[in-house]
Amino acid sequence: MNEYVDSLTDWDDFKETLNLTEDEREEINLRVKIIGEIINAGCDKETIQHALEEFDRTTDLDLITISKLLKPLGKTLQVVDLPKTVEK
C-alpha cells in the first residue's frame, strides 16, 4: 500500500492530515455521536437502517431534520452545559 497511508496509525492521525476547520471537526464529531446513538437506540434493524439512510442524505446538520430522524428512535436533542474546560 501507499507508504504515507501506512504511516497513519489511527483515525486521529488521518483527521490531522485533512486540514479541517474547527467547525468542520465539530460537525464530524457530532455526526459520529448521532450515528452512534442511532445504532445504539435499541430499535429494530429496519428502523435503524432507515434512520441511517435518512441521516446520510443530510448535507448539513439541520436541527429539524435531526429531530425528525431521532423521534421514531425514541431520542431527542438536549441542550446541556459544556464542561467548564471548554471555551465558549
Q: What is the span of the domain harbouring residue 62?
A: 22-73
Residue 36 lies in a domain: yes
CB–CB of 31/56 below 8 Å? no
Residue 69 lies in a domain: yes
Residue 5 lies in a domain: no
Residue 12 lies in a domain: no
- Identify residue 77 by its one-letter amino acid code: L
Tens of pLDDT, residues 20-31: 887 777 777 777
Residue 57 lies in a domain: yes
3 is written with which cell numbers?
507508504
- What per-residue confidence (pLDDT) applies to 59? 65
Residue 58 lies in a domain: yes
Distance set, CA 88 to CA 63, 68, 82, 85 (Å):
20, 28, 8, 9
Is the pLDDT score of 65 beyond 80?
A: no
Residue 28 lies in a domain: yes
Domain count, the chain: 1
pTM, entire model: 0.55
